[in-house]
Amino acid sequence: MNIHEYQAKELLKRYHIPVPEYIVIRHLDELKDVDLEEAVVKIQVHAGGRGKAGGVKFAKSPQEIKDITRRLLGMKMCNNQTGPQGVVANSVILSKPVDIHKEYYLGAIIDRAKKQMILIASTEGGMDIEEVAEKHPEKILTLPISAPGKLRMYQIVAFNKFMGFKGDVAKQATKLVQNLVKAFYELDASILEINPLVLTPGHQLIALDAKFGIDDNALFRHPLIAEMRDPSQYSKAENAAFENDLSYVSLEGNIGCMVNGAGLAMATMDIIQHEGGKPANFLDVGGSATKERIAFGFEMILSDPQVKGILVNIFGGIVSCKMIAEGIIHVVKEHKIKIPIVVRLEGTHVKEGEQLLEDSGLEIIAAVDLLDAAKKIVAQVQEVI
């Protein structure tokens, strides 16, 4: 789950990381309480690159603060991070502009390949870090973070040297980076990024921007962060999935996938792609798929107008394929689904399940295995479009 910049800054504040004071504006009438002479106005959306997209503006007078806020509230931003549908800014933040001497990058992520938390630091802040990594890898320092969320002293020394921090700035940087790593670890973050971290002409380090992503599976441990979820930043289907405890991610293809188990769902998407098709979504209905969850999964898949065919791939380890078949038959009848559906069942009561589908008289295409299923749905969808 992602949160907004101002929410991420609230978390940073709790960890004593200096951030500029900000005022959150959701309605224009809230501007009457603002007494700033100048301000940076920033849209609050779950995507970076706002500066380039026109979502970060400098207002030089109270009148400009009003004009710019009016323009930015409700702005729809589209870039490579938002997808073609874009995201709408339902709030903006106002901050007193900070004078910048130099911009840096500081972040922590989980490196899945290395199975480790990693600190990333760069002297090139304010820019796209992926671009820096590609063009100037020597300007990026990565340090592994040991399990309890602490850096070793020698790592901190290396960090300060790499960043060119000396004297009092190095002292500030040491505290800041220790707190960042602590926050990252304690809050079960999947990403915590300060870009830019700035040094002011008065030699203060300040986090000017903040991005925070948390592992959904850890949300139960952080109820206050869970409350920060802003449904306006997600699609209707993603919200419905969240409320019903399903994992759903919408994608750009046209083959709807309903699968139980995240690993199986990924394998299903891979094999569809391998056969020349494009999955419309990732959907894990969970290990304990019930009739209700199957019905709900279908509804979500069908809410995407791009979907031209559905592949159901269920492994009945705990669940019975018979029950899944009944669920499918019920939904197909109830929704009068006209698009092709390929079903691959395996596991407990598979014979009974397949028999039910066959006897239903519905046009459900049975597949013997995953590859067969992928081939069949890709062929069906190609015929339709």
CB of 47 to Mn ion, least distance (A): 11
Between 98 and 218, name the residue whose CB sits nearer to ligand GDP.
Answer: 98
Q: Closer CB to Mn ion, residue 208 or residue 269? A: 208
Beta carbons within 10 angstroms of residue 308's beta carbon: 20
CB of 51 to ligand GDP, least distance (A): 3
Helices and strands in the chain: count of H runs, count of E runs: 12, 18
Residue pair 197/207 in contact by the 8 Å Cβ criterion: yes
- Candidates 62, 83, 126, 347; binder of ligand GDP (CB under 6 A) is 126
Kindly state the smallest distance separating residue 317's Cβ from ligand GDP, in Å: 44
On whether the CB atoms of residues 5 and 209 are closer than 8 A, the answer is yes
Which CB atom, from 100 or from 169, has the smaller least distance to ligand GDP?
100
Site string for ligand GDP, 166-195 (x = CB under 6 A): -----------------------------x
Which of 10, 103, 193, 354 is catalytic? The answer is: 193
* Comparison of 196 and 279: residue with beta carbon closer to ligand GDP: 196
The tokens describing 15, both together, are 């960890």
d(CA 17, CA 209): 12
- Where b means 16+ CB within 10 Å and e means fewer, 360-385 reads beeebbebeebeebbbbbbbbbeeee
Query: Which range binds Mn ion by CB under 5 A, 28-36, 205-213, 267-275, 286-294?
Result: 205-213
CA distance 118 to 360: 54
Q: How far apart are CA 122 and CA 143, in angstroms?
A: 12
Residue 267 interaction partner, one of ligand GDP, Mn ion, none, beta carbon < 5-8 Å per kind: none
155 binds, among Mn ion, ligand GDP, none (CB under 5 to 8 A by kind): none
Q: Is 297 in the site for ligand GDP (CB under 6 A)?
A: no
Concatenated DSSP letters for 38-87?
A: SEEEEE--S-S-TTTTT-EEEE-SHHHHHHHHHHHTT-EE-STTT-TT-E
User: Which of 124, 176, 196, 214 is the binder for ligand GDP (CB under 6 A)?
Assistant: 196
Selection from 304, 343, 347 nearest residue 327 by Cα? 343
| 234 is annotated as an active-site residue | no
Distance in angstroms (rounded) separating the CA atoms of residues 377 and 257: 10
Q: Which positions from 9 to 48 touch ligand GDP by CB under 6 A, shown as an x/- string?
A: -------------------------------x-x-----x
With CB under 5 to 8 Å by kind, the binding choice for 376 among ligand GDP, Mn ion, none is none
Q: Which of 82, 91, 195, 268 binds Mn ion (CB under 5 A)?
A: 195
Is 329:312 a contact under the CB 8 Å cutoff? no
| Residues of this chain, 66-105, that bind ligand GDP according to CB under 6 A | 95, 97-98, 100, 103
Give the shortest CB-47-to-ligand GDP separation in angstroms.
Answer: 7
105 is known as an active-site residue: yes
Q: Are 315 and 260 in contact (CB under 8 A)?
A: yes
Do residues 307 and 268 make contact, with C-beta atoms less than 8 angstroms apart? no
d(CA 230, CA 8): 13
107 lies in the site for ligand GDP, by CB under 6 A:
no
Number of residues this chain uses to bind ligand GDP (CB under 6 A): 17
Residue (98 or 169) nearer to ligand GDP, CB: 98
Q: What are the Cα distances from residue 180, in Å, to 91, 122, 140, 166, 237?
A: 26, 15, 17, 19, 33
Q: How far is CA 133 from the centre of its chain?
A: 21
Distance between CA atoms of 171 and 222, rounded to whole angstroms?
30
Choose among Mn ion, ligand GDP, none what residue 50 binds, the Cβ cut-off being 5 to 8 Å by kind.
ligand GDP
Residue nearest Mn ion, Cβ-based: 209
Asked if 7 and 228 touch (Cβ cutoff 8 Å), the reply is: yes
Q: Select the residue interacting with ligand GDP from 26, 51, 85, 161 (CB under 6 A).
A: 51
Out of ligand GDP, Mn ion, none, what residue 284 binds, judged by CB under 5 to 8 A for its kind, is none
- Residues forming contacts to Mn ion in the complex (CB under 5 A) are 195, 209
- Residues forming contacts to ligand GDP in the complex (CB under 6 A) are 40, 42, 48-51, 56, 95, 97-98, 100, 103, 126, 195-196, 208-209
